[in-house]
Structure 1
C-alpha cells in the first residue's frame, strides 16, 4: 500500500523536480546550446589580437547571457560542463583533459555570483562585475593548471599584471554586452517556460 502511494506521488511530481538542479529539460537543452556556443566560438573565432583574455569578450558574454536568460541555480554549472567537455573533445588547450576546469570554473562561479546580485544580470554594472570576475577565475584556473602540470609559466608570471588588466577589460566588456542583450531579449522570450 505504501509503495503504491509513493509510486503515485513520483508519477505526479512535475518533470522539473525530477531533472538535474530542478531545471526542466527545455532549460537544460538551452543551456547546452549556450555551452556549445562558448566552445565552438572559441574554436572558430581566432582573432589575431595576441592579448591575454581577449576571448573573454564573447566567452564571458555568452556565459552571462545564458545565466541571465535562465536565472536558475545550476545554469552556469551546466554551461561549464558542456563547454569544458567540448573543449576537451576539440583539443582547445595545451592542458589536455584538464582544460575542462578552465571552462568549468567560470560556470561554477557565475552560479554563485548571480544570486549575490539578486540575478539582476541585465544591469550593466552587475553584468560587467560578473563578466570581470568570471574572466579572472578563468585566468586563475589557467595559472593553477599551469603550476600543477609544471608548464613553463615564467612568461605569464612576469606579465601577470598586464594579463589581469586585460582579463578585467575584456570580461567587463563581455558582461556589458550580455547585460544589454538580456534586457532586450528577456521580454521577447516570455514564452520560454
Structure 2
C-alpha cells in the first residue's frame, strides 16, 4: 500500500509550469520603462492562478522555488544566483495570503493585497541581499521610497488581472471547490 502524496503528479506539473511561466514572463516582457517593480504586473499572475487551482499550502513556495531556480541558473536578474531567495520568498508570502484568505483569489481585495504584498517582499529581499553584499545603506534607503510605491501598484495590478483570470477559470470549471 502506497501512502498518498501531498501533491499529485498533475499538481506538480501545473506548479512547475507556473514557475517556468514566471521566468518566461520576466524574459519575454522586458519592458524598458525603468520603473521599479513593473514586472510584478506579469509574474504575479501565474503565481496566484497556480495557487488558486491547487489550493494547498506550499503551492506558492514550490512555484517560487522553480522560478527562482530558473532565474538563478540563467542569471537574468540583477542579483543572479541570489534571485532564488526573492522568488522563494514571494512564493511563501503568496502561500500565507492563500491560507489567511482561504484561497479566495476571486476576490478583488485578496488578489490586489496578495499581488502587492508579494511584489513588495520581492523588493525587500532584493534590498536585503544588496545590504549583505555591501551596497551602502543610504543608496538603498533612497531607493526604497519611490520603489515601494511602484512595487505596490504593479503588484496590485497583477493581482487584479489574476482575479479576472481566476473568475473565468472558475466559471469554466477549471477551478472548483475540490482539490484535483
1:190 Cα offset (Å): 5.3
Aligned length: 177
Q: Which moved more, 1:157-166 or 1:183-192?
A: 183-192
Aligned residue for 1:131?
115
1:187 Cα offset (Å): 3.3
Gap change, CA 1:29 and 1:45, over 3 Å in 2:
same
1:153 Cα offset (Å): 5.7
Gap change, CA 1:152 and 1:99, over 3 Å in 2:
farther
C-alpha distance in 2, partners of 1:190/1:172?
Answer: 22
1:67 Cα offset (Å): 1.0
Q: TM-score, length-normalised on structure 2?
A: 0.92
Matched, 1:66 2:50: yes
Q: Runs (4+) of structure 1 moved beyond 6 Å?
A: none
Query: 1:47-81 CA deviation, whole Å, 9 max, x = no partner?
Result: 01100000000111221121112211111011011
What's the Cα RMSD here?
A: 1.7
Q: SS in structure 1 opposite 2:104?
A: coil
Contact residue 61 and residue 171 of structure 1 kept, 8 A: no
Matched, 1:159 2:152: no
Aligned residue for 2:29?
45
Structure index of larger Rg? 1
**Gap regions ≥5 residues in structure 1:** 1-9
C-alpha distance in 2, partners of 1:109/1:175?
Answer: 13
C-alpha distance in 1, partners of 2:35/2:52?
Answer: 27
Aligned residue for 2:156?
172
What pairs with 1:25-174 in structure 2 (closer than 5 Å)? Answer: 25-151=9-135, 154-174=138-158
C-alpha distance in 2, partners of 1:111/1:53?
Answer: 20
Q: TM-score, length-normalised on structure 1?
A: 0.86
Query: 1:118-152 CA deviation, whole Å, 9 max, x = no partner?
Result: 11011011100010100111011101111111135
* Structure with the bigger percentage of helix: 1
**Gap regions ≥5 residues in structure 2:** none
C-alpha distance in 2, partners of 1:113/1:126?
Answer: 8
Contact residue 120 and residue 151 of structure 2 kept, 8 A: yes
